[in-house]
Amino acid sequence: MDGDAVAHEPPPVAGALLSLARPLGFFALAGLFAVVLLTIGAIVWQSVPLALAVVASLLVGFAVLGWLDAAVALVALVVALPLVSVEVGFGDVERTVSGDKVVLVVLVATWLWRLPRARLAELGRLSPVRWWGVLIGVVVLSAIRNGLTPLQLWGVVGQVVYAGVFLVALDTFRDRSALRSTLGAAVVTAGIVSVLGVAEQAVWRSGHVLRLYFKAGTLTNALYGGATNFGSTIGHPNFFAAYVVLLLPVAAVLACVASRPARAALAAAATVAGAVALLAVRSLGAGIGLGAAVLSSTFLASRTGRARTAVIAAACGIALVLGVAAVRTRGFTGSTSVGVRAYVHVIGVAAIAERPWLGFGQRGFARQSNRLEIKSFGSRMLFLHKAHESISSHDSFLQVAVERGLIGLVAFVGLLGSILRKTIAGVLRPGGDSPPWLLLGMAAGLVAFVLQSFTEALFDYSKVASIFWIVAAAGVRLASPAGREAERG
């Protein structure tokens, strides 16, 4: 049977459980359980050897899964990436070994090794894949322009791995049951991560610390010492919020359309946990993302032009009211969060003016920020950051423009635009009285994540960005005519 039109798929959450019911699935489940136990041990005893054992276990486990069954490997990936957070440095805080990096590189490498070249050519006919090729080409040129140092080469490898994750998912999701299994597992995991985040916040308020990730010899340790960031197993509040916002619309859809009460209850629990976690985070970017998800889903679900016009008017009105309220109550620079983002855009524009076409290369914003801060303002803005810190771009699009130049920004926007265009077109394509709900949830989550990336460099953090590329691949696959028919069937 053609993998692009598989019939009778199990519902999403059930599909995730069924994939773990295979013998290989049991191996994956047992392996993940063992890795989680090792991670807990590393965190409790702050043991580098245990942390390295986690990394080694992930390397071996995902090499086996990637070689034997990419579908099971993807289910395991969307569970392991958010839940297992281990990173170890060896004298250089910018070059570390983490479970995330190992898992992604191994999975992509094993998939590429086994992939028939004819199927790679078939994938290359899709516009998002072509845009990936353009972006990687620009990244290579930027690396050459900036000296082909190990840091620049690592930046090229990072983009190739992200593209590989997208391609692995796009290829695997030709089988709709694999797509639904992966989304179901991602939703369940997001619920677990959200519950852990809420528990973490509650423990903190009682005056204690709950550590949910392991870091040693990393940039985080260098900047903050032994302090722990709130953010559940993700390790940072803004990235945690972005991860939840990405999957919350999908969870909400599954809670509404699941065919059995138990499945609906599981998805509903994940939805409630995610909503409570977002309240605990209190992230401005998360609020923007969640608002975008609600408005975009309402707009796409509307079946008449009048209803869509009303949604657009409501969105403009809400944005105006919130903007005025923010200025009147907090002031534009009265909030450190808002103020630092205003300053980094001044620095970013100065960087783009110096190297407009191919940028400063990998970590260009961080490397140039202190110099450009003094150039732009006459001194360092130490009321916004500590003296030993470089400044984060806090904006994925600004970071791409500074590091890869305006040519890179065009390629990046083209890539995201091609994904959103295909996904949204799949929702709006005529073919029924109601929209394809699962695709609608994915479209809302993708739109929310992209808008939230204007407030934080979300695509720079592999733990969260990889989940985005997997959901994006699912959206592209499900938006095809065959995918629409499969979902309606």
| Residue written as token pair 């509307």 | 302
Asked whether the predicted pLDDT for residue 422 surpasses 80, the reply is yes
| pLDDT band at 480; cut points 50, 70, 90 | confident
Q: How far apart are CA 16 and CA 19, in angstroms?
A: 5
Asked whether the predicted pLDDT for residue 475 surpasses 90, the reply is yes
pLDDT in tens, 125-139: 999 999 999 999 999
What DSSP line would sit under 421-482, residue for residue?
HHHHHHHHSSSSSS--HHHHHHHHHHHHHHHHTTTS-GGG-HHHHHHHHHHHHHHHHHTSHH
pLDDT in tens, 284-341: 888 888 888 888 888 888 765 666 566 566 656 655 555 555 445 444 444 567 778 8
Distance between the two ends of the chain, CA-based, in angstroms? Answer: 16
Looking at residue 472, its amino acid is A
Instruction: Give pLDDT, residue 223.
Output: 55
pLDDT in tens, 144-172: 999 999 999 999 999 999 999 999 999 99
pLDDT in tens, 27-73: 888 899 999 999 999 999 999 999 999 999 999 999 999 999 999 99
Instruction: Give pLDDT, residue 21.
Output: 43
Q: Which of 111-120, 123-132, 223-232 has the lowest mean pLDDT?
A: 223-232
Judged by DSSP in three states, 332 sits in coil
On average, the pLDDT of the chain sits at 85
pLDDT in tens, 349-378: 999 999 999 999 999 999 999 899 999 988
Instruction: Give pLDDT, residue 118.
Output: 86
* CA-to-CA separations, 338 to 149, 317, 376, in angstroms, rounded: 34, 21, 18
Q: Considering the chain, what percentage of its residues have pLDDT values greater than 90?
A: 58
Instruction: Give pLDDT, residue 335.
Output: 56
Choice between 251 and 385, residue whose per-residue pLDDT is larger: 251
Average pLDDT over residues 221-239: 73
Asked whether the predicted pLDDT for residue 79 surpasses 90, the reply is yes
Asked whether the predicted pLDDT for residue 103 surpasses 80, the reply is yes
